[in-house]
Amino acid sequence: MTAEEIEAIRQKLGWTQAVMAQRLACDFVSYKRYATNARPVPRYIARSALLLEFIHDNGLMKALEKALDK
């Protein structure tokens, strides 16, 4: 996954970079490096981003956020 692709997913979700980092369970600085192409996006981050996009596209985001807020 490229920096442009992960940022496109983040923008589609309507999240800030800080929220995206939190939802991907990585620190903000690392996410910023992935998003600016300073570091390659690790496979586990790419897969998590794709899962978040899938959840969003299938109307399951509210259920996910409720589960994560417990």
pLDDT above 90: residue 24? yes
Q: What is the pTM of this model?
A: 0.89
Q: What percent of the chain has pLDDT over 90?
A: 90
Domain boundaries, the chain: 3-68
Name the CATH topology of 3-68. Answer: 434 Repressor (Amino-terminal Domain) (1.10.260)
What would you report as the CA-atom Rg of the chain, rounded to the nearest whole angstrom? 11
What is the DSSP code (8-state) at residue 38? S
pLDDT above 90: residue 68? no
Q: Tell me what the mean pLDDT of segment 37-48 comes to.
A: 97
> What is the overall mean pLDDT for the chain?
95
